[in-house]
């Protein structure tokens, strides 16, 4: 690793117009780099969140176990006011206690399979015959299958064909791609109106919903599913039912890898008798239906600014078929490491730095949205609470294990020069791109929705979208240590800069109130 000393000296004598506008403490940046790149604990944090803890499905005992560990670890690191803070009502907890699925006819083969969350079990081992279901609409479904589902394992017929991929699973952004991001035009506000419905998709959804309703009432064993992402030994597994407090567990829905699903469908289509052994045991509980975030602070030291806040965070919850390493133990470990770095070097931020590890992100950003609503504003009314004026900025990590290549401005052009300056000490670590573009799908959106500066970093994709995002192989082994160290170092510097500059981060115009979206 190249030493920063010469680089820092050069930077100190490089005075530009941007420098005059935005000053950074390069001595502190050098300390942050040394601590983050040479004394990192980020992989320790990731190990405990994944291998030691296991899955962290929202509302589950596994999530609470991980949340309590993170709270205690942040306290040991020296942060104050560490707590599990309820954000509102989530619903029931659910866990998988046993799962065995195997093809037994026309031959024996153990299957790579995983039940979807919030579905019921089989009440013991069942050897069930496969029933192939082919129906273009509910009329055909009723004519061919109603009253014939008892004891069967259902497989909707699919005509998909797996095509070979000629691209590598893992990748990093090229210079051309980053340049395109940097040169992007400001995002255009979405226009009103609804999407045109897809008749075929709507018909298929109605067939599937009615099939599950009849299957449960008639005593079928379960239904099989797959995703084209779930190939080559990777299963794409999410929820299969409602997590509402009083909702019963949904009909058993088992995700197979695509190759096994298509094999079974072809055999059944050809008239070959197909049977599976299935033994699934699940557990639901309602002893605590609240959702929780993990919160802790490094208190500010400036008498005039200590009540202002700079936040950083990532979502702690995961899906259940693996240990959620890239989604999003990576982000949580990075943020825990970022605040550890600041404590280790004796940083004294002027503003309070607050870390948040969010719950319920996978079900709709529930933890961050609940926190924002409780502390800052409700986007449905845009009635601002006193804390709204005190937040400087929020920084988020939730795009896997890939190193930071820059940052999305989320349409906030007034911070471009600020973030460009903050990235200068990290050009040698390949982080230099600032794009006006928006990015979505994670917790910074909760802040942006009420006019608060919320940002997500640009990260190399690695194999996030091809292999690990919401899949059964999202394990510790898919984390890249050097990338996580780089990420934590840059985040620590960004948070420190935001907490020590004279002014809060500039804001966009306040959005107008938007009606709340009903929860599923």
pLDDT (0 to 100) of residue 127? 98
Spatial neighbors of 195 by CB under 8 A, at least 6 apart, are: none
pLDDT (0 to 100) of residue 519? 53
> Is pLDDT above 90 for 175?
yes
Handedness of CA 371, 495, 339, 316 (dihedral sign): positive
Taking all residues of the chain, what is their mean pLDDT, rounded to a whole number?
93
Distance CA 230, CA 191 (A): 34
Q: Is-contact 157 225, C-beta < 8 A?
A: no
Distance CA 367, CA 59 (A): 11
Residue 196 burial (CB count, 10 A): 6
Handedness of CA 191, 194, 196, 201 (dihedral sign): positive
Distance CA 97, CA 54 (A): 13
> Is pLDDT above 80 for 194?
no
Spatial neighbors of 179 by CB under 8 A, at least 6 apart, are: none
Torsional class of 167: left (φ above 0), alpha (ψ -120 to 50), beta (otherwise): beta
The candidate with the shortest Cα–Cα distance to 87, out of 320, 364, 311, is: 364
Distance CA 42, CA 248 (A): 40
What digits encode the pLDDT tens for the residues 241-294? 999 999 999 999 999 999 999 999 999 999 999 999 999 999 999 999 999 999
Task: Output the 3-class SS for 25-45.
Answer: CHHHHHHHHHHHHHCCCHHHH
Torsional class of 59: left (φ above 0), alpha (ψ -120 to 50), beta (otherwise): left
> Is pLDDT above 60 for 211?
yes
pLDDT (0 to 100) of residue 517? 61
For the residues 117-130, what does the mean pLDDT come to?
Answer: 98
> Is pLDDT above 80 for 193?
no
What digits encode the pLDDT tens for the residues 70-122? 999 999 999 999 999 999 999 999 999 999 999 999 999 999 999 999 999 99
Q: Domains in the chain, ordered, with CATH?
A: 25-90+289-500 (3.40.630.10), 96-187+199-283 (3.50.30.30)
Distance CA 216, CA 220 (A): 6
β-partners of residue 297 are 80, 354
Distance CA 484, CA 132 (A): 46
pTM of the shown model: 0.94
| DSSP labels, 183-248 | TPPPPPPPP---PPP-HHHHHHHHHHHHHHHHHHHHT--EEEE--TTS-TT--B--B-S---TTPP
β-partners of residue 354 are 297, 311
Q: Angle between the 481-500 and 26-38 helix axes, to the nearest 10 degrees? A: 150
For the residues 313-338, what does the mean pLDDT come to?
Answer: 98
The candidate with the shortest Cα–Cα distance to 457, out of 338, 375, 300, 306, is: 338
Confidence tier at 199 by pLDDT (50, 70, 90): confident
Q: Kindly list the strands in the beta sheet with 80-89, ordered across the sheet, starting from the edge strand earlier in the chain.
A: 80-89, 290-298, 352-358, 309-315, 391-396, 454-459, 404-408, 433-435
What digits encode the pLDDT tens for the residues 475-519? 999 999 999 999 999 999 999 999 999 999 999 999 999 987 655
Distance CA 392, CA 498 (A): 7
Both structure tokens of 266:
């072809």
pLDDT (0 to 100) of residue 192? 54
Spatial neighbors of 382 by CB under 8 A, at least 6 apart, are: 450, 451, 510, 511, 512, 513
> Is pLDDT above 60 for 237?
yes
Q: Is-contact 244 178, C-beta < 8 A?
A: no
Query: Which of the pair, 97 or 19, is modelled with greater confidence?
Result: 97
User: Residue 418 belongs to what H/E stretch?
Assistant: helix 416-423
């Amino acid at each position: 690793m190249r030493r920063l000393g010469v680089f820092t000296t050069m930077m100190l004598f490089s005075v530009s117009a941007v420098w005059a506008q935005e000053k950074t403490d390069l001595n502190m940046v050098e300390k942050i780099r040394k601590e983050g790149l040479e004394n990192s604990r980020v992989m320790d944090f990731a190990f405990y969140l994944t291998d030691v803890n296991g899955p962290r499905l929202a509302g589950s005992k596994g999530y609470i176990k991980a949340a309590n560990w993170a709270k205690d670890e942040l306290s040991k690191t020296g942060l104050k006011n560490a707590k599990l803070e309820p954000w509102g009502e989530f619903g029931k907890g659910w866990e998988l206690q046993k799962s065995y699925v195997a093809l037994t006819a026309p031959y024996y083969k153990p299957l790579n399979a995983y039940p979807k969350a919030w579905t019921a079990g089989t009440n013991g081992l069942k050897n069930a015959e496969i029933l192939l279901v082919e129906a273009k609409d509910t009329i055909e479904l009723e004519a061919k299958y109603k009253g014939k589902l008892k004891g069967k394992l259902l497989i909707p017929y699919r005509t998909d064909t797996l095509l070979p991929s000629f691209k590598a699973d893992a990748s990093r952004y090229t210079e051309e791609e980053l340049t395109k991001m940097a040169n992007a035009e400001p995002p255009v506000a979405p226009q009103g109106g609804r999407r045109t419905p897809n008749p075929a998709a709507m018909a298929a959804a109605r067939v599937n919903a009615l099939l599950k309703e009849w299957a449960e009432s008639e005593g079928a064993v379960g239904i099989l599913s797959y995703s084209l992402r779930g190939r080559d030994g990777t299963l794409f597994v999410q929820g299969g039912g409602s997590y509402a407090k009083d909702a019963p567990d949904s009909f058993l829905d088992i995700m197979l890898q695509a190759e096994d699903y298509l094999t079974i469908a072809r055999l059944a289509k050809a008239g070959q008798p197909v049977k599976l052994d299935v033994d699934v045991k699940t557990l639901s509980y309602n002893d605590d239906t609240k959702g929780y975030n993990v919160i802790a602070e490094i208190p500010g030291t400036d008498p005039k600014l200590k009540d202002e806040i700079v936040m950083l965070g990532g979502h702690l919850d995961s899906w259940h078929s693996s240990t959620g390493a890239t989604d999003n133990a990576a982000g949580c470990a990075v943020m825990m490491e970022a605040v550890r770095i600041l404590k280790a070097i004796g940083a004294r931020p002027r503003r309070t730095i607050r870390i948040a590890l969010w719950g319920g992100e996978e079900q709709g950003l529930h933890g961050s949205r609940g926190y924002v609503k409780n502390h800052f504003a409700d986007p449905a009314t845009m009635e601002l609470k006193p804390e709204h004026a005190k937040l400087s900025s929020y920084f988020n990590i939730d795009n896997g294990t890939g190193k930071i290549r820059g940052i999305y401005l989320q349409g906030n052009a007034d911070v471009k020069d600020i973030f460009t300056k903050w990235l200068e000490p990290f050009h040698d670590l390949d982080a230099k791109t600032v794009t006006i573009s928006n990015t979505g799908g994670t917790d910074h959106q909760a802040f942006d929705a009420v006019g608060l500066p919320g940002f997500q970093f640009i990260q190399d994709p690695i194999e996030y979208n091809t292999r690990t995002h919401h899949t059964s192989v999202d394990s510790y082994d898919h984390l890249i240590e050097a990338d996580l160290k780089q990420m934590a170092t840059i985040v620590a510097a960004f948070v420190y800069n935001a907490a020590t500059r004279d002014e809060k981060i500039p804001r966009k115009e306040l959005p107008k109130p938007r009606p709340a979206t009903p929860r599923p």
